[in-house]
Amino acid sequence: MDDELVTRENLSPNWNERTLPVTMLVLHYTGMQTGAEAEARLVDPAAQVSAHYIIHEDGCVVRLVPEDKRAWHAGRSFWRGISDVNSASIGIELVNPGHEWGYREFPEAQMDALLPLLAAIVDRHDIPRANVVGHSDVAPARKDDPGELFDWPLLARHHLALPVPKPRMRLVYDNDSAFFLALERFGYDISDGHAAIRAFERRWRPHKIAGEPDGQIGAMLFELLLQRDMGQAR
Ligand SMILES: [Zn+2]
């Protein structure tokens, strides 16, 4: 059970039984001032939140909930037709103060601990790369984590997330509904359209988060859908 990847255990009472098989993985930041504070909250019965793992900035990996149980990390969320994201996912919290308390780079030690853990989880549950997502992807109107400083390209280089697509055509959707339909088909909840675009940008074009459809993100989105439907990425 990959115990060599887990530094210690601090079991949380905040879980229940899954009602869906595991098909996705959701990455978070803790968004609290210290890692100790964040870990304490994730095991506090009064807080009613948890995750399967928390990874501290020094690379210490703590198991909070066994993977076969439903941890409470995603809240009200949606991805590719699934609205009970907690039942279908493994949740990993990365210690980082977040946008509220001084958002900063995720240190190398933390990423070095994340990569092998992620690889083991993805392999164990056969999770498609397209379903390794951020909290902001599954709750675009509520959440910004893990945020634009998270190194998705590093995950992609390790085949643990989809790489940023290189569109083979420059295309502008002739109307916004086509764009939003594509966004929904890729997986996003588009009930708040601008929030969904911001989430897409935070993940795929973090240097420009504007919340409006444009030709570049439209082309990226189209390419992602093409690759997935052609079986070049799952
Ligand atoms: Zn989160």
What is the pLDDT at residue 227?
86
> Residues of the chain whose pLDDT is less than 70?
1-2, 170-173, 232-234
- pLDDT (0 to 100) of residue 173: 67
Contact 68, 36 (CB under 8 A): no
- The environment of the single-atom ion ligand 1, i.e. residues with CB closer than 5 A, is 28, 135, 145
Q: Which helix (H) or strand (E) holds 26?
A: strand 24-29
Closest CA to 76 of 139, 147, 145, 134: 139
Residue 170 lies in a domain: no
Q: What is the pTM of this model?
A: 0.93
How far the first Cα of the chain sits from its last, in Å, is 25
Ligand 1 centroid to 230 CA: how many Å? 31
Residue 122 shares a structural domain with residue 208: no
The domain in which residue 210 lies consists of 176-229
Same domain as 122, residue 82: yes
Ligand 1 centre from 168 Cα, in Å?
33
Any idea which residues carry the catalytic annotation? Answer: 93
Alpha-carbon distance of 121 to 105, in angstroms, equals: 24
Q: How far is the CA of 147 from the centre of ligand 1 (A)?
A: 10
pLDDT at site 139: 97
Same domain, 89 and 126: yes
The whole-number pLDDT of residue 23 equals 97
Q: What's the CA-to-centroid distance between 143 and ligand 1, angstroms?
A: 7
Q: Quote the crossing angle between the two packed helices 176-186 and 215-229, to the nearest 10°.
A: 40
Would residue 144 count as lying in a domain? yes
> What's residue 228's pLDDT?
84
Structure tokens at 125: 């549950």
Tell me the C-alpha distance between 16 and 25, whole Å: 17
The 3-state DSSP class for residue 60 equals coil
| DSSP state letters, 161-172 | SPPPP--SS---
CATH number for the domain spanning 35: value is 3.40.80.10
Pick the closest to residue 182 from 165, 160, 159 (CA basis).
165
Q: Which of 113, 129, 157 is the last residue of a domain?
A: 157
3 state DSSP class of 71: strand
Residue 167 falls within a domain, yes or no?
A: no
Same domain flag for 152 and 180: no
134 within some domain: yes
User: Letter for the amino acid at 147?
Assistant: G
Count how many domains the chain has: 2
pLDDT of residue 171: 66
If asked whether residues 115 and 224 sit together in one domain, one would say no
pLDDT tens by residue, 10-60:
999 999 999 999 999 999 999 999 999 999 999 999 999 999 999 999 999
